Amino acid sequence: MRSESVQRPARIAVIGVGIVGASVGWNLSRHGAEVVFIDAGQPGEGVTNWSFSWVNASNKTVRRSYFDLNVAGMAAHRELAGIIGPDSWWYPSGHLRWADTPAAQAKFLETAELLAAWDYRVETYTGAEVRSRLEPSLTMPDETPVVFYPDEAWVHGRHLVRRLVDQAVASGAEIRSGNAVHAIGTGADGTIRTVALSDGSRIDVDIVVNAAGPNASHVAGLVARRLPMRREPGVITRVDCARVPVHRVMHAPHIEIRPDGGGSVVLHSREVDALIDTGEAPGQLARLLHELARHAVPELGDARITQTRVVERPIPADGFPSVGAVPSVPGYYEAVSHSGITLGPVIGRLLASEILGGKRDELLADFRPERFPL
């Protein structure tokens, strides 16, 4: 039996400890909540570690409210770097984009004009200027238009998650790694009461935060909640080089490239993602990514493929985040989003404020879970 006469901090289970779950839990813990992190694997080792990890709003123009949320996410990263320190995880070196066809050039230049009208910082260079000022190892025609977004960044997601979780644990949070959630129990009044884990243990809780990424739909089903998710797999490859020849995130023709700390570079391509369901083996996908990267950065031709992973992106069915309370299940909250690297810190701050203080921020107005019917 719970004693209602004794005041105590809320006990909150955060299910899923990628960048979103870690951000939510860290914010809750620093404001006095009793947090239990639960992850079927290890913190930061899932989708967060296999994301392109690009902090941006330039690719989020489909809806103004979504753009604004991502701009807030960028600002939240800068604020977080000031609080916990930027070392090992925060790389605000900007982002380059160019293309090799007139149609693709026209599209990204049109987007750049829109972003400038929305007061988003945009700079335009020629290929020759980019090689001279920013990235001497690139290959592109001298007159190619190149857009540079100086306020964008990349994040070492695994390092950031570890930093946030370690700080939360130092403040009293508990971590249950290697444990899947088997059941979520509710009381007679329908409120959240317990979480049952795969090791046979049961935890008494007041609140559950579903930050389970690609498994969020399954977790939602444990409280009879339907959360439709989109299936969209992606492949990420890491290559090692004697010298990392790039200094920032870039979208080159047909390939995305960024440094990854140490002697590593990350490669991704939407075009290669489209081949996942055709039966191509991950090793072949990695070789295709490497070949595309070599055309943009010839020095990468000598790089060695070290790791490749195909993962499911955590995308609700309409493509937008699902963040906040689900009124039909008291004590149950969702924090499920693609672009979790960009949005993790702002979602963490806003959702913690909602859980602990009841404040529903207008930034999340278009992204409430109740838009999905039961």
- Predicted confidence at residue 309, as pLDDT, reads 97
Mean pLDDT in residue range 60-66: 98
Task: Answer whether residue 4 shows pLDDT above 90.
Answer: no
Residues 46 and 139 in one domain: no
- Predicted confidence at residue 121, as pLDDT, reads 98
* Rounded CA separation 34/89 (Å): 26
CA 129 to chain centre: 32
Task: Answer whether residue 2 shows pLDDT above 60.
Answer: no
pLDDT tens-digit map of 6-34: 467 899 999 999 999 999 999 999 999 99
Would you say residue 216 lies in a domain?
A: yes
Domain containing residue 239: CATH number: 3.30.9.10
Query: What's the predicted TM-score (pTM) here?
Result: 0.95
- Predicted confidence at residue 14, as pLDDT, reads 98
Phi and psi for 108 in degrees, rounded to 5? -75, -30
- Predicted confidence at residue 373, as pLDDT, reads 84
The burial of 108, by beta-carbon neighbours within 10 Å (0-12 exposed, 13-18 middle, 19 or more buried), is given as: middle
* Rounded CA separation 190/115 (Å): 46
Residues 102 and 241 in one domain: yes
Q: 304-312 and 332-336: which strand pairing?
A: unpaired
Number of domains the chain contains: 2
Say what percent of the chain tops pLDDT 90: 96
pLDDT tens-digit map of 182-237: 999 999 999 999 999 999 999 999 999 999 999 999 999 999 999 999 999 999 99
Strands (E), 150-278: 153-155, 174-177, 181-186, 192-197, 202-204, 207-210, 229-230, 233-240, 249-252, 255-259, 264-268
pLDDT tens-digit map of 303-339: 999 999 999 999 999 999 999 999 999 999 999 999 9
Residues 241 and 264 in one domain: yes
- Predicted confidence at residue 9, as pLDDT, reads 83
Q: Which of 1, 141, 155, 3 is nearest to 84 (CA)?
A: 155
Domain that holds residue 269: 92-151+231-314
Residues 224 and 327 in one domain: yes
Residues 329 and 300 in one domain: no
